[in-house]
Amino acid sequence: MARTGRKARLFSARPRCLWTCDAPTVGYANTMKPDWPRLAARLAARIPPGTLHPAVLAWVEGRSRTARGAWAVAFSGGADSLALLLLLWAHYPDRRRKLVALHFNHRLRGRAADADEVWCRRVVKALGVGFQSGRWRRAAQATGEAASRAARLAFFEREQRRRRAPSLWLGHQQDDIAESMLMRLARGSGTAGLAAPRPVAPRPGGRVHLRPLLTWSKAGITAALRAVGAVWREDATNAGDDFFRNRVRRSVMPAWRRAAAGRDALAGAALARERLEEDDKALEAWVDVIFSGGTSGADATAKAAGRSKTAPRKKVKMQWGTLDLAALAGVPVAVARRALHRWLLAQPDSGDLSRQGFDLLLAAVGRGTATRFSLGRNGFAVIRRGRLFYERKRPGRSAAGKQTRAGN
């Protein structure tokens, strides 16, 4: 039967519909002219500040220079980002003047993506806060979710700089924690990767990413939105299996939660993420001690274990670009791995070192024997006289001396 008239279009489940939610009847009943300020106030009553992540609340209350700056909110129009925008508007009325919603149109879903942008613009206008949208010009060349994410984050970063908004608020929740953890386990990530997404994540250039909804599940957020009569946009691509995250969400997560047999698997994953972040910070603090030149590796190990040394050892001096391997003597492999990773990031060109190549270089650092290790086209990692340093390749000359090459 052919659909006719505006009412039929509103009930349509097809993505081109301008106003939509996960239940068409709710969408039709509430989308003619939503009172977004009123909905925000009602949602804030159901999700009070005390239920948001404490690390984010502490960041806000700290009143740092970054916290006092403009706040940017990633706003796709989905349930999570809508809830976040409404809660920030309601809980922090003094910030509304410095609040800007950022929407990135990936241009991967045709008119549905354009409709998302129009819908987001109308919501933001009703709330009376700033809005900026961006469009992916290279959408036709998209090769996967990583490219889409990189383009989106690049847009956010540009707008943050332009608007002097060092903080970016993101709507990640507990389902995202569990999905990310399962995905990164498949990739062999360590504590740094498994501790993502973090509630307060410092970024280069003094920026910070904030995720206050990590204490809430997706179901809890959507239930709160439905209870107050709010509607949101649904991305049809989330129903497919083209992307790794979608496959984890649609196939792995339901089976994993059923296997938990009465346990709150999402809350458990969120707690594990908290513990992993604590461990990661402890390891990073250990590496900070080593790189500060405060103690040798053996002294740092003894201090971490609560043992005192009978005779203080000579402090290890760290020079820019050079790592004194005496600083790593006696430290656990996890600490040495982080120290080497940090050293590589500080070099002018560390190349594209594979996991196997990194492990080979780490083993060479542990031995401390003379080594000349290729880091790609432009340089070497060189170990000589107990020090690790970077050496550029000289044009026209082949590598000489003892050398190990990383596999690709």
Question: pLDDT tens for residues 295-336?
Answer: 544 555 555 555 444 434 444 444 557 899 998 999 999 999
Across 162-184, average pLDDT: 97
User: By mean pLDDT, which of 182-186, 222-226, 272-276, 368-372 is the weakest?
Assistant: 368-372
pLDDT grade for 271, boundaries at 50, 70 and 90:
very high
> What are the chain's domains?
5-265 (3.40.50.620), 292-405 (1.20.59)
pLDDT at 13 over 80: no
Q: State the DSSP code for 392.
A: E
* pLDDT value, residue 312: 41
The predicted-structure confidence for 369-391, as pLDDT tens digits, reads as follows: 899 999 888 889 999 999 999 99
Q: Which tens digit of pLDDT belongs to each residue from 48-87? A: 999 999 999 999 999 888 899 999 999 999 999 999 999 9
Q: Quick check: helix, strand or coil at residue 83?
A: helix
Q: What is the pLDDT of residue 293?
A: 66
What is the rounded (10 degree) CA torsion for 79, 80, 83, 89? -130
* Percentage, residues of the chain above pLDDT 70: 81
Share of the chain above pLDDT 90, in %: 63
**What pLDDT does residue 72 have?**
98
Closest CA to 314 of 298, 330, 303, 302: 298
Q: Is the pLDDT of residue 408 over 50?
A: no
pTM of the model: 0.82
Interval 83-141: pLDDT, tens: 999 999 999 999 999 999 999 998 777 788 889 999 999 999 999 999 999 988 776 55
Nearest alpha-carbon partner for 233 in 54, 80, 392, 390 = 80
Q: Is residue 355's pLDDT more than 50?
A: yes
What does the pLDDT read at residue 6?
Answer: 38
Chain-wide mean pLDDT for the chain?
Answer: 84
Confidence tier at 45 by pLDDT (50, 70, 90): very high
| pLDDT at site 113 | 87
Which pLDDT score is estimated for 111? 86
d(CA 391, CA 389): 7
Reference 69, options 161, 134, 156, 132; nearest CA is 161
Asked if 224 and 47 count as a contact pair (C-beta separation under 8 A), the reply is yes
User: Given this model, what pLDDT does residue 368 score?
Assistant: 92
Report the pLDDT value the prediction gives residue 294, as an integer from 0 to 100. Answer: 53
Q: What is the pLDDT of residue 53?
A: 98
Please tell me the predicted confidence (pLDDT) of residue 401.
Answer: 43
How does DSSP assign 158-184, residue by residue?
A: HHHHHHT--EEE----HHHHHHHHHHH
Distance CA 119, CA 126 (A): 11
